[in-house]
Structure 1
Amino acid sequence: VHIGAVGRDGDWAIERLTEYGVDTRYITYGSTTGHAIIMVDRLGENAILIHSGANLEITERAIGAALGQSSTGDYFVAQNETNMQFEAASLAKKLGLTVVYAAAPFDVDVVQMMLPMIDILVLNQVEADQLQKATGKPPQDLGVAQVIITLGAKGCRWFNAETEVSKVFDAEPVKAVDTTGAGDTFTGFMVAGLDRGLPMEQALKLASRAGAIMVTRHGTADVIPDLKDIQDRFGP
């Protein structure tokens, strides 16, 4: 289920989500559809300029209606492109959902506000450093049960506050041509793996492999790999 907002110019986006099998009943209409201008350099690294548009016009009513259809144990995933993250995460937490928060685009004040609601925090190394500087606390002391720091070509680091386990997962060696969407792909596959019942270690391995394939492709949503792509390249 996707909770969001588009403009009247955004019917194509709803149609595309529907093609992907996403429940779009709770997408509302606002001003103009948000969009991003993505610039990619010769090394595959990107810079992104965002026009938020209707992304900042999500209503509390839509959030309540969508989350009202959820079940205890479902996963709620939020990022910073929209408004109402805190309100939505608070309701999700109250309903017994697992709250996953990808702290991008990074805003240290918003992240600190969200911390009490988060079960799983995903951020990159630069964001982790900025958050530690602002809070004076390392990732394992943020009060979040599980923190995942993505390290680009070096893989990712997982902190489990409950067991005090910290583990690094190496990335699959690939030649990156476009890193756009790699973080989103990683988070999506991690959550999908957890939702399928995989332990975190296996979910992170799956997510890392998905991200590795993603950076070898030019584009964003249309080139995100599926499970078959991952199994064909890396095995089951």
Structure 2
Amino acid sequence: MSIWNLGSINVDLVYRVPHLPQAGETLAATGFQRGLGGKGANMSVAAARAGARCVHLGAVGRDGRWTVERLMEYGVDTRLIAEMAEATGHAIIAVDESGENSIILHSGANRALDARSLADQLEGAADGDWFVTQNETNAQQETAQVASRRGMKVAYAAAPFEADAVRAVLPVLDLLILNAVEAAQLARALGVAPGRLPVRDVVITKGSKGSVWIETDTGTETTVPALPVEPVDTTGAGDTFTGYLLAGRDRGMPMEQALRLASKAAALMVTRHGTADVIPDLKDVQDMTL
């Protein structure tokens, strides 16, 4: 089977800082890295490194050709990535000494996708393949609907959070992944608790407190604890979790087993500086001991 990911591709500009800047404050960075990022690219790399076949649907500008080459090096199928007149998306990321971050995004080519072309690209998908998207591109709703009609399983990672974006794809979702803050925001916006959403599986991530899987058909909630590690950089941990979770499900793992694998991968990820370029591969995760 395969995972088809409609997702962003960004150039990450990462600055190490003593603390996250306040309004009006100027800080001297203690370090700088440029790397591959974007929630979509991170998830594709994670899924590929977890052993899945992952096809990336997205776009870059001419300045981002190196990002496509990097994705290919990491095992992602890049043949459907378009090159646009717009500049490649980028993110300015500040990471403090405790590993917390703040991020400014410029969408660029990520928001210039053509919905009709994306629908045509899904012609190569098979019944039962996974389709996943996030809120860093355009054409999410249209492409998710096409995927659902083709018999694909549809997952949505609800970040950056917008209630209307989630509402638009809810009718076709099989799996919704969001963090605790996003879950609370969605409940307020829709007036519906996560466990009563019209989605079979809802996963709420809670950082160092682990994750909760809600089977809405039965109302059963399963908590999967996080692994105790000392974080140095939380950037990309949630994307790593999602990519590993989908890869596990694509390989036929039961949900709880896939969640435990994803939790382990995310825990290892936060012990590393960087984003897509440092996402652990499956052997790293399997060999991880605490």
TM-score band, normalised by shorter chain: over 0.9
- After TM superposition, give the deviation of residue 113 of structure 1 in Å: 1.3
Matches within 5 A, 1:2-81: 2-30=56-84, 31-81=86-136
C-alpha contact 1:26 1:62 (8 A) present in aligned 2: no
Contact 1:103 1:121 in 2 (8 A): yes
Pick from 195, 198, 201 the counterpart of residue 253 of structure 2: 198
- Report the Cα offset of residue 4 of structure 1: 0.3
Which of these residues, 262, 268, 288, is aligned with residue 213 of structure 1? 268
Q: What are the ranges of 5 or more consecutive residues in structure 2 without an aligned counterpart?
A: 1-54
TM-score between the two structures when normalised by the length of structure 2: 0.79
Cα shift readout 1:127-149 (whole Å, capped 9, x = no counterpart):
00000011111101111111000
Q: Which amino acid is 1:9 matched to?
A: D
How many residue pairs are counted as aligned between the two chains?
235
RMSD, aligned CA: 1.1
Residue 234 and residue 165 in structure 1: after superposition, are their counterparts in 2 closer, same or farther (change >3 A)? Answer: farther
Once the two structures are superposed, the pairs formed by residues 79-90 of structure 1 within 5 Å of their partners are: 79-90=134-145
Match in the other structure for 2:200: 145
Deviation at 1:126, TM superposition (A): 0.4
Hey, what's the Cα distance between the residues in 2 that align with 1:78 and 1:126?
19
Q: CA deviation at 1:66?
A: 2.1
Q: How does 1:65-214 map to 2 (within 5 A)?
A: 65-214=120-269
Offset, 1:42: 2.0
More helix by share: 1
In 2: Cα distance, 1:153 partner to 1:89 partner: 31
Q: Percent identity?
A: 58
Distance in 2 (alpha carbons) for counterparts of 1:160 and 1:123:
15
CA distance in structure 2 between the partners assigned to 1:226 and 1:17 by the alignment: 14
Q: Which moved more, 1:15-24 or 1:182-191?
A: 15-24
Shift of 1:165: 1.3
Deviation at 1:61, TM superposition (A): 3.3
Gaps of 5+ in 1: none
Residue 82 of structure 2 aligns to a residue whose secondary structure is: strand
Partner secondary structure for residue 59 of structure 2: strand
Q: Which runs of 4+ in 1 moved over 3 A?
A: none
Aligned equivalents of 2:79, 2:278: Cα separation in 1:
25
Structure-1 separation of matches of 2:217 and 2:197: 12
Structure 2 residue identity aligned to 1:11: R
Counterpart AA for 1:15: E
Q: Structure 1 residue 62: deviation in Å?
A: 2.8
Mapped to 1, the partners of 2:199 and 2:120 lie a distance apart of 27
Aligned mates of 2:121, 2:229 — CA distance in 1 = 39
Instruction: Report how far residue 163 of structure 1 moved.
Output: 2.7
Cα distance in 1 for partners of 2:74, 2:142 equals 27
Return the TM-score normalized by structure 1.
Answer: 0.97
If asked which structure has higher relative contact order (CA below 8 Å, sep 6+), I would say 2
Q: Which has the higher strand share?
A: 2
Q: Structure 2 CA distance, aligned partners of 1:12 and 1:2?
A: 15
CA distance in 1, matches of 2:253, 2:70: 28
